[in-house]
Structure 1
Amino acid sequence: MFDHVVFGVSDYAASKAFFLNALDPLGIAVVQEGQHGIELSSDGKVSLCMFQTEEKPAHLHLAFVAESRQQVDAFYRAALEAGGSDNGAPGLRPNYSGRYYAAFVIGPDGHNIEVVCHEPVA
């Protein structure tokens, strides 16, 4: 659905480190970085971009697709180790669907970062 998502962060270095570590289990890495910020992607088609700003944007909810429940678990551990705060441990969310397996963390700017797997148990 999206080509890219761009948002501002209050501490570029902290946000860069957080997202690189938290999203590493999903294969997301730096595509490019320059004066306008950083672009991250896993496939070169859809990207997440962030830049330094002094503005106080509203909180975002970013949800990333995982290929497996193990990736959801790995994201959650990596995000907490990278300084994120728990906002929902990995597990099924039956109120969404019988296969909605997700984890949620709060990132450096208070954004709700989710990784979700819609696949059944392998």
Structure 2
Amino acid sequence: MMENPSILSHVSLGTNRFDEAVAFYDKVLATLGIGRILDVTEHFPAIAYGRAYPEFWIQQPFNGKPAEAANGVHIAFMAKNREEVHAFYEAALAAGGKGDGEPGPRPHYGDAYYGCFVRDLDGHKIEAMAWLEGEVVSG
């Protein structure tokens, strides 16, 4: 079994529009080579995504109350290159997300940082970012 390189087990986001949110994340995360890993909808409305492990969950809140987007919280997904960052951004907008920071360098996060920000269907802030060590990112 491969050792998990992540520092977190998983992150979950609540949704008030489960089927639409799953369709959104199916399209958007596919641009980064991320897909469905686990589907537990026969027990509870939840789908887990990852490359090898179920690291990102989209689900209806377990307590039955409405999902809310948290101020100051965002989830960043690792991209391999600029092209994946741009594909993520375009797929998110096409799937109904709202832009919250176009793809580009973010030198305040580091010289090699290249990313974009989007709001998903429930208003959660999500990001795709690539760490482009050895490249001129700000040009």
TM-score normalised according to structure 1 size: 0.90
Correspondence for 1:69 = 82
Unaligned runs of 5+ in 1: none
RMSD of equivalent CA atoms: 1.6
Percent identity between the aligned chains? 35
Find 1:88's aligned residue among 78, 101, 105: 101
Instruction: Tell whether the 8 Å contact from 1:26 to 1:42 is kept in structure 2 after alignment.
Output: no
Shift of 1:43: 1.8
2:39 is aligned with 1:49: no
Correspondence for 1:30 = 36
Spell out, residue by residue over 1:63-117, the C-alpha distance to the aligned partner (whole angstroms, 9 max, x if none): 0111111111111111111111010110001121111100111001111110110
Higher gyration radius (CA): 2
Find 1:14's aligned residue among 6, 14, 20: 20
Higher mean displacement: 58-67 or 14-23: 58-67
Which stretches of structure 1, 4 residues or longer, exceed 3 Å deviation after superposition? none
**Distance in 1 separating the partners of 2:9 and 2:23:** 23
**Distance in 2 separating the partners of 1:112 and 1:7:** 10
2:49 is aligned with 1:40: yes
Give the secondary structure class of the aligned counterpart of 2:57. Answer: strand
Shift of 1:52: 1.6
- Code of the residue aligned with 2:77 in structure 1: it is F
Higher relative contact order (CA 8 A, sep 6+): 1
Shift of 1:57: 3.0
Unaligned runs of 5+ in 2: 1-6
How many positions carry a matched residue from both structures? 121
